[in-house]
Amino acid sequence: MFGFSDETYIDIASGNGGHGSVSFRREKYVPKGGPDGGDGGKGGDVIFVVKKNLRTLQHLKTQRVFRAQHGQPGRGARRHGSDGGNIEIPVPPGTLIKDKDTGQILKDLTNETSWLFISGGKGGKGNWHFRSSKRQAPRYAQPGIEGIELRVHIELRIIADIGFVGFPNAGKSSLLNFLTNANSKVADYPFTTKIPHLGVFTYDDRDIILADIPGIIEGASQGAGLGYTFLRHISRTEILAFLVDVSDDRFESAFTTLQAELETYSAELARKQRVLVPTKIDVPDTEDNVTKLKSLYPDEYICPISVYTGEGIPELRRVFRKLLSEVPENSFNEDLSVQNDDRAEKDREV
């Protein structure tokens, strides 16, 4: 995954419940004391905890097995066995927990802080519970209930307010670096950006999260280039910013091609709020190209910029803020998670 871990499989297990105790009182002058076996302790739970400082699933690549502690058995004198300790699995915001076989989403942790996934097994009852007038010396106790073991598919979908979409070298990383302190790599060769980068800038007292999605090329929705690998991350962005290099010979068709790739992957992506951003307008003889784009796409928000000179950047900030004000908070397209489950196997092969 080019150093960016956005999916993995892990094995998890909740703790077994402790066995109940078979015990009898041993008191002086009471040769046949009654039953006093205590209950077993409960097994530990498996809990997913969302950590805002995490950005990838790399930590789950190095530790793939998570087991909660078992409950301890009960003891005499009605002493209860200690409960097993819980196991907490840290994950970044935007994490999906999926069934490993069907791809069904078990839980979307986008708006959660923690989630109890599997409860530990219940402890068994000691023989003290089974005494009666007819059964004064029960010699059995309940076994503890076993915990649950399973493997799950963990997938990360980046959460951002604005997602930058464009061909390689359209200026996505440069714009992200200009607006934030993301410090993503910039160079003049294709696929400089091989992993999604995030950055934050503040406008009108609102923190706006930006995501630089690696370059999409024609055929990306069918697996070409790097774009297909990261297309799913766009599903968690509110607004799409289409960056088009107006110094490139393909400037006229770039926006249409990008739109077609997104729509092929998911119709929902193509319907997101968007802004068309012609870039590199500081390059000589690009003014006419910007004018042509405006005539080709009269219904689009169009905001030409130059990261080199800063021209158009203040207006772009205002456009971002305006578009976000029109989108309800936490309005991520959950349907994308379901309708693209059939692509899971292709994603893993790329």
Identify the domain boundary among 96, 126, 156.
156
Indicate whether 345 belongs to any domain: no
Helices (H) and strands (E) in the chain, counts: 9, 13
**Cβ-Cβ contacts under 8 Å for 70 (sequence gap 6 or more):** 15, 16, 17, 18, 43, 44, 84, 144, 147
2, 59, 102, 155, 229 from 5: Cα distances, Å: 8, 9, 21, 9, 11
* R_g of the chain computed on alpha carbons: 29
The backbone torsions φ and ψ at residue 229, rounded to the nearest 5 degrees and listed phi first, read -60, -35
- Residue 97's H or E segment, with its range, is strand 95-99
Averaged over successive runs of 10 residues, the pLDDT of the chain (350 residues) comes to 67 96 81 84 96 83 94 94 96 90 90 94 94 86 95 86 86 88 50 62 82 63 48 77 92 89 78 92 93 94 93 93 77 42 39
What pLDDT was estimated at residue 350? 32
What pLDDT was estimated at residue 189? 44
Identify the domain boundary among 156, 186, 213.
156
Do 185 and 150 fall within a single domain? no
Distance CA(220)–CA(147), nearest Å, equals 43
* CATH for 270: 3.40.50.300
The token pair at 262 is 């997104």
Neighbouring-strand partners of residue 155: 7, 96
What pLDDT was estimated at residue 25? 85
Do 261 and 330 fall within a single domain? yes
Specify the number of domains making up the chain. 2
Identify the domain boundary among 156, 172, 206.
156
Domain that holds residue 89: 1-156
